[in-house]
Amino acid sequence: MIAIEALIKIVVLVVIILTIVAYLVLLERKISAYMQDRIGPNRVGPKGLFQPLADVLKLVLKEMIVPAKANKFIHALAPVISITVAVGALAVIPFANYIVIGGQKISLLIANVNIGVLYILALSSLGVYGITLSGWASNNKYSLLGGLRSSAQMISYELSLGLSLVGVLMIDGTLQLDKITMAQSGGLWNIIYQPIGFLVFVTAAFAETNRLPFDLPEAEPELVGGYHTEYSGMRWGLFFLSEYTNMIVSSALMVTLYFGGWSLPFVNYSALGANLAALVQFVTFFAKLGILIFVFMWVRWTLPRFRYDQLMNVGWKIMLPLAILNLLGTGAVMLALK
Amino acid sequence: MNWYDILFYAFALITVVSAAGVVLSRNIVYAAFSLLFTFFGVAALYVLLSADFLAITQILLYVGGVLVLIVFGVMLTNRANKVEVKHGGLTLAPAVLVAGVIAGTLIGVLTTTKWPAASFEPYEETARPLGALLMTQFVLPFELASVLLLVALVGAVIIARREKARRV
């Protein structure tokens, strides 16, 4: 019974997320177009709304070219690792509290593990494999350089990412994401207690998702296409999907940790009844998610790319000390208030 | 045989087979890859033992940290994927001796230890008690380990720097 319930939740969630991802691509193209005073895609369907369908069809039907000297097995494996890791992280994110069907409480969380935050950190540390291995297996110098850059970048920013989170964990005293949401639902959101931690987290999240201004692994003018230079068809599509899914995961994590998750301040959910409350929470969560994803895109089309040494300087000499200071400050204040 | 047993044997099989792959593979890249599955298998075994914190730390540190560095090193080394790792030969006798002694010790421990069968209580939070123990009862070993790591780090930097100075 538990297995069937989990399976249904997984299928529903993956379908929802992949649909969102397809439309995020359209959204990004529209936003970039408006920022550059263009119109953007508007040929397929009304106002270009069917563009994602056309894109997916194109990707599925295209030939997947494998270079002659590539390592065939790893070349095929790398995009699979990327997308698995990205989608897997969604399992522990609480999108709403619970619904009641036939008198049974069903939590809207696929896996309620005790160590949800660590689980997401562990998965994000695995994301580097997809990129590094694709770069190596392609047997192409640009791919390899892109893959190596990405490894260095992700290892450097993982530290600040992890350390910046610890402040939130100290305040709420748990690693469970639904308990962190619960702790915020009555009072203030964590961003008010942890502004510096949030800043470091956002920066590190941009670096971990390889988005501008930190998209050095695929810097087009220097590296052709970076790690996915030698990929085409649906294998390239999987890298694309995982980039956008990673963006959703990072934003969802930010919503949960810093912006109160599915909760809204001053709303009494018990008056609504469980199912209606769940719907409101669901919509709330996705509204917050949408705003953060918009920030991701906004930043991408606003800031220029960092140079490699600047990237490393920011990571090790600014972000890491800031994260450690934030940690010490949080500890000191908590001790003083005790 | 219930689901728990089936899962245990599946993960144990993955761990042992991939560990054999690490040792027996002649291609250093494949050896590094097999290590990935070994680490995952061990992490899965930890999960089956309800040691969730340990399992996730295993993945975070070994798969996400140590192995990334190994793969990184292998890829940066010129033509590392063409190097054939040699087996056997001169080192066979000492290897058999050492492995035999270790195997004997392990089997001895396995057979003489009384294994207390704890009652099965899954999914208790382990992160909090572990943290509390590290900060109270085991604070000295914990700090010593961190100092040791720092020493290793500084040593690595010094070695890297010296080589650079000589070349100039």
Across A318-327, average pLDDT: 90
R_g of chain B, CA atoms, integer Å: 20
Model ipTM?
Answer: 0.75
* Per-residue pLDDT tens digits for A246-284: 889 989 999 988 888 888 877 777 777 777 888 888 888
Instruction: Please judge whether A148 and B76 are an interchain contact, meaning their C-beta atoms are less than 8 angstroms apart.
Output: yes
What is the dihedral sign for C-alpha A318, A321, A324, A329? negative
Instruction: Please judge whether B63 and A175 are an interchain contact, meaning their C-beta atoms are less than 8 angstroms apart.
Output: no
A and B: number of Cβ contacts within 8 A: 60
Instruction: Answer yes or no: CATH 3.30.1490.20 is held by domain B1-86.
Output: no
Chain A residues within 8 A of B80 when measuring between CB atoms = none
Q: Which residue, among B64, B66, B44, B65, has the nearest Cα to B54 in the 3D structure?
A: B44
For chain B, the residue count is 168
* Per-residue pLDDT tens digits for B49-68: 878 888 888 888 888 888 88
**Residue A131 contacts residue A215 (beta carbons within 8 Å):** no
The residue ranges of DSSP E strands in B112-152, in sequence order, are none
Residue of A nearest to B53 (CA): A115
The token duo for A75 is 């070349």
* Per-residue pLDDT tens digits for A10-55: 888 888 888 888 888 888 888 888 888 888 888 887 888 888 888 8
Mutation target among A1, A125, A143, A148 for the B interface, most CBs of B within 10 A: A125
The answer for A233, left when phi > 0, alpha when psi is -120 to 50, beta otherwise, is left
Residue that has been written with the tokens 């009304």 in this structure: A46
Determine phi and psi for B75, rounding to 5 degrees.
Answer: -70, -35
In chain B, where the domains are located: 1-86
The token duo for A55 is 């894109």
Instruction: Please judge whether A129 and B71 are an interchain contact, meaning their C-beta atoms are less than 8 angstroms apart.
Output: yes
A98-101/A104-107 β-pairing: antiparallel
Alpha-carbon distance of A297 to A275, in angstroms, equals 33
| pTM: predicted TM-score of the whole model, two decimal places | 0.83
Alpha-carbon distance of B110 to A275, in angstroms, equals 54
Tell me how close the Cα of A115 comes to any Cα of chain B, in angstroms. 7
Longest CA span, chain A: 65
